[in-house]
Structure 1
């Protein structure tokens, strides 16, 4: 597939490749093929309006797009390669190769730590969608943390519930690919029933919390119904204490964590581990506690506290931090109170947060969860 992509762009290695696919084998093989070429992946959602997809392709400066066959008909300003790795007789060797790219020794590309691994575009709910470029060093720092923290390795089986345009999908895919674990993809019906977890012997579950409510509504979360789970991770929405208790009863041998983090901080930057027995008073609003701002994985972070009831503000300096948001990808913008990336220990003195007119610490939009 990598050779076919190179052939699509005239035998040269593409710099940026759009991936117009859902959670299919073609999508996963395509993701790896683009990485093999040393190029940047830009996930595109087949369900988005074609004009938006075309605008994203232009803003991201794509060289070509790899698409599931059912979605290859969209009109885009770049060449589109349709591929289906599940089709009988499918063979990448059958793809056009006018310049002999397939037979050259340099078919494998080379990407360095500062090269861009993938670009994810925001929803555009507050304006024009913007691309967030995440570099290989950002992903590597994140993987160093999560693979060790969650004990991911050969024999583990990770759920994959997120579309590729949702940054949380990176955890499932890259954590499995980097550790020898297995990615198991549920269909829509499986997303609502713990029998998928039991049937597929899932060890690590990751989804938005609303999945719990849907499964419970369908009476699919009986106590002890998910005995294989060791880790249950939730992110992307508020997790209520009621949801957490219901899930914990269904997966009694699982450790449950609530994660938070914007795309610019490579998925998640803080985590709160639900204790086996409640040790603290439950929050009045019924959500799983979020308090404090504690350093995680190869990062330095500082909390600037403010007098109640003003929320705290958190500044980050980390190798998991994306330095810019862009559309097109050359336009810089600040991201969430971050300080310059670093791989060393945190400085002895935290950065000073900019003052506000009221004399209180500013709210940056980074609302941290307490790390266990």
Structure 2
């Protein structure tokens, strides 16, 4: 595996030297300062690449080249945004980028109800609690017709839960659920979310899937000619929220995409945390089935329960058997004579991490701990095999 760590750019509290000292050979980054939909120019890409290489690291994986909401809805200026996307892809290919990570989640990216959940060790982790989310939807966001999406038990539990919250706790819940997109310090507002949700009226799972397949088939030739691999990130959490469809949550979703878009330029970012948050996802079986089309690895583990809740566990704990996934990745690398880039994902915030401002889930020492554990497994498995 190629060891990388996500870096949000020059304003990231985690420096490139920190990442180099952690034992990484490269970074995963993006041009977050460019508005979604606008072209990533050769000049801007070169500037970022030169900064990374001057620090002794490489940049071959983009995370993320965002897909404009118009493309997902297939309305507005979506044709222009697709053309811009193709130009950005061409420019990235010219500068040695190999993998493009993106997602097709409507409106919101990942979502948690608690950004600072205290684990048994007192480390802080990201957590999703179903009842808390229902309470947010019904009583804070106050989404029209939200009540029809929940059964009576959920509504009663959410009401009781919300009644116990202090004003500060309500503010924290709202802040967590409306956290801004990665790389951005700008949070969503209720008004903004409700406006965007309204634009998706009439778009169900089947329609959103169709829009994804059309988009990918349109850009696949550009990816092929530019030597790029597209790696879609699964939905996080991997089930419908806010009345929106989710189309990359389980094996059936990934299978259908790879069938409908047969180009080998189109594949998966295999996130063990996102897929692993669903009990019905068999990670080992999924990895084996999709191995040849897995182009990027996000390695993390979630601890889930039967109520639909989960939190970010230590990398070697939780419901994701990362030992098996690392072993399978080594086997596919050897079989296909290629290297799969990876990064440790969503580390715990440890006490020492308080010294560095970071995006939730991306504290430095917490991710360093996960990276060290993964590298140790990788070396041990390779020694066992040989």
> Would the TM-score normalized by the shorter structure come out above 0.5?
no
Scaled by the length of structure 2, what TM-score is found? 0.29
Scaled by the length of structure 1, what TM-score is found? 0.30
| Larger RCO, structure (CA 8 Å, separation 6 or more) | 2
Bigger radius of gyration: 1
